[in-house]
Chain A
């Protein structure tokens, strides 16, 4: 076997695995792979990612925006952000599976926990960076505190806030890949259970996970453009 040719050969096998069902060489006769299973696992990964992201947003965004508005709790938030980065996702999934249980709900909780720190800290930093004079002007115009957050601080800090949401999403979708360890069959199943799917299946899983993450990131980048007010776009151009 020539070392230079192996990579291309394996990628070909992986692509074939994605598009056509084949007989698993280990389990004997069982059909694995194919577009149907690939789509099914992709949808599962999307589902658990969306649920976890929604949960993280509901918890983290109001807290981050509110604390940023009030300018309180910086020390706690910085610590939280650092601790969040240091949390190994593999240990989280393992502990959730062993102590809470397997299935969609425990995995969603674990993934949401990973998503909360970047959303909170970016929302805080973003709102803090908004010029206080602007906020005072809004207050002078008779806006309520809630209106100031929603109509002034959030639009002006959207790039930082979205940055946090994008980091959270990347972390969540990446960790959803190892969710099969806790009983949720995402695309990671192709990777983790290589004994069933074979080397082609494992590489196919890696390709699909990478494409999925890039697609989600691309969509969020587009969303960020849409959410950025036109006035701010002119300024940065």
Chain B
């Protein structure tokens, strides 16, 4: 008996019930393993709006905090040389701990929600930003610093007016890497109740619904690209002399 006759026979017996189970009539999102449902996507794109905003908040707040702390640590280590290696090691250890483990190690202290996610994400950026800042400060030629000293600059003035501006390319590069990684890792905040785009990947049956995962993935990649390009442009704007040199 061919499958066509089987189907026909089943159709007679099962009637409407059988008909509804065929893939033609079931909406795309009810079929398992369907890669992408355009109809669902166009109708439900609104539900991604507030997770996207939440995601942005998580990323921006944690990177701003991470940057402030790493900046302070780098300036400190720049002034007191003996702190350099211990700080690198300490931020390295924090960087090595997987974020999802970090979330739950913090849980007894900071509880469920955004705070825990932000602390863990901020800590994660420390190593990247700190290392790049130290690299940038080290790359400033000593002759430039001596010239500044000869012009009567104090140590503080040299740091703020000579060394930090010259280190901008490395600092911005570090910031770029930190932001792009944080955008990706912030999807894990869903595990600690931190919201964000992870909620559209995990939870509420989304895990087995590729359409939602793909849309969340696309938004994450787009967000990363926007920040990446934006920071490249910002770097150009902040270091006009680089452009002059390349011409």
A residues with a Cβ closer than 8 A to B are 6-7, 10-11, 82-83, 85-91, 94-95, 97-99, 170, 173-174, 177-178, 181, 188, 191-192, 202-203, 205-207, 209-210, 213-214, 217
8 interchain residue pairs of minimum CB distance: A174-B98, A206-B104, A86-B224, A209-B101, A7-B108, A88-B187, A10-B108, A206-B101
Given the known A-B contacts A97-B208, A214-B93, are A174 and B108 also in contact in the complex, defined by CB atoms under 8 Å? no
B208 touches A91 (CB 8 A): no
Main SS at interface, chain B: helix
User: Inside 8 A of B41's CB, which chain A residues have their CB?
Assistant: none
Would you give the shortest CB distance from A210 to chain B, in whole angstroms? 4
Would you give the shortest CB distance from A92 to chain B, in whole angstroms? 8
Expressed in whole angstroms, the Cα–Cα distance for A176 and B105 within the complex equals: 18
B96 touches A90 (CB 8 A): no
B209 touches A98 (CB 8 A): yes
Expressed in whole angstroms, the Cα–Cα distance for A89 and B186 within the complex equals: 10
B96 touches A94 (CB 8 A): no
A95 touches B202 (CB 8 A): no
Q: Does B67 contact A (CB under 8 A)?
A: no
Given the known A-B contacts A207-B105, A210-B105, are A91 and B213 also in contact in the complex, defined by CB atoms under 8 Å? yes
- Greatest chain A CB density within 10 A among B102, B109, B217, B228 is at B217
Size of interface on B: residues with Cβ below 8 Å to A: 46
B224 touches A94 (CB 8 A): no
> For residue A86, which residue of chain B has the nearest CB?
B224
B191 touches A191 (CB 8 A): yes
User: Inside 8 A of B71's CB, which chain A residues have their CB?
Assistant: none
Contact pick for B98, options A6, A10, A209, CB 8 Å: A209
User: Inside 8 A of A83's CB, which chain B residues have their CB?
Assistant: 221
B residues with a Cβ closer than 8 A to A are 33, 35, 92-93, 95-105, 107-109, 177, 180-181, 183-185, 187-188, 190-191, 197-198, 201-202, 206-210, 213-214, 216-217, 220-221, 224-225, 228
A210 touches B184 (CB 8 A): no
- Greatest chain B CB density within 10 A among A94, A95, A217 is at A94
A94 touches B201 (CB 8 A): yes
B93 touches A90 (CB 8 A): no
User: Inside 8 A of B225's CB, which chain A residues have their CB?
Assistant: 86
10 inter-chain pairs at a CB distance below 8 angstroms, sorted by A residue, are A6-B108, A83-B221, A85-B177, A88-B217, A89-B184, A90-B190, A98-B207, A170-B95, A170-B96, A202-B104
